[in-house]
Structure 1
């Protein structure tokens, strides 16, 4: 699991790689300079929507921002080494399953929501990003720009990533769903 200090280090490194000041990243992401500074120092975690805004402003996926293995011709990623982010407030868990090749364009993640928990809203991605969602357990409400879609185990939903989206577990048990975030059209 990504600790606040590890997340802070990763955020600062990514911001500096792009030669952005705190003020520039704040303006680009819509997240306050003070909040970014707290995250970078490890004094505070980040909600999933804030993490999404920061990643999008840095032209990264959340998985790329929180870390993980890089380019290898064959890559085995054990369960224990898969980058995982857990939002403290909701218990929402996001586990990165795909190799995090920069510029690759595919991000494959497993999401888990505790009973009755809700995420977001996630900020929209850039135009051209698409998401493929498959529910493996539970009942999930996906809201895309205000339009609700109710999915149960085995259901699939495809949508443009340039819409605001929230996810809500409607079941009394955990909800689990895979998302493939595809930005290959932008490459």
Structure 2
């Protein structure tokens, strides 16, 4: 899985564009997202790669799913998405790897994401995703605790959890990685 540094730079530019489209200063965005101004500045200048949790906060502020935001920095995807062409993003802080298997596109409402969360990794999305989203998480390997709006669900291989919008926390219980497919359907 190759990490695309050019896409990281496009992501930084897109995040800056979204802020400027709203005529927000870095300080205003920092207050809305509850993230330090200096961190936001470094992310918008592509000096650091944002964590999954930080992207989650920014997506909540901008009313986008993470997949939609990442798709906005890619060129128009082809109908057939070959395995070696699927966008891969890594959260260096947690080791979380996110593969956009079937990215959002045009009038299509669904997307497929593969997640790989190392044992012990814990990611909290403390801001709800845009309202009306439908999620289906299908765990392939490992053990995962998925907490939705404060209610923990334990998943084992083959389990599928369906849920709507809200806050979420993903915790890989080990001993190995938790590998799953997440299907997201927009309203």
**TM-score, normalization by structure 1:** 0.83
By how many angstroms is 1:160 displaced?
Answer: 1.9
Helix, strand or coil at the partner of 1:53? helix
Partners of 1:84 and 1:13 lie apart in 2 by 22
Instruction: Judge conservation of contact 2:121–2:171 (CA < 8 Å) in 1.
Output: yes
**1:119 corresponds to 2:123:** yes
Aligned to 1:57: 61
Aligned to 1:68: 74
Aligned to 2:186: 183
| Cα distance change on mapping 1:60 and 1:126 into 2, 3 Å | closer
Instruction: Judge conservation of contact 1:61–1:107 (CA < 8 Å) in 2.
Output: no
- The 5 Å alignment of 1:106-145 reads 106-145=110-149
**1:154 corresponds to 2:158:** yes
**1:95 corresponds to 2:99:** yes
Aligned to 1:165: 168
By how many angstroms is 1:170 displaced?
Answer: 1.2
| Cα distance change on mapping 1:100 and 1:127 into 2, 3 Å | closer
Q: Any gaps of 5 or more consecutive residues in structure 1?
A: none
Partners of 1:25 and 1:2 lie apart in 2 by 26
By how many angstroms is 1:76 displaced?
Answer: 1.5
By how many angstroms is 1:34 displaced?
Answer: 2.4
Partners of 1:71 and 1:135 lie apart in 2 by 26
- Per-residue Cα deviation, 1:41-67 (whole angstroms, up to 9, x for no partner): 111221211101112222222122233
Count matched residues.
181
Instruction: Judge conservation of contact 1:63–1:83 (CA < 8 Å) in 2.
Output: no
By how many angstroms is 1:17 displaced?
Answer: 4.9
Instruction: Judge conservation of contact 1:48–1:122 (CA < 8 Å) in 2.
Output: no
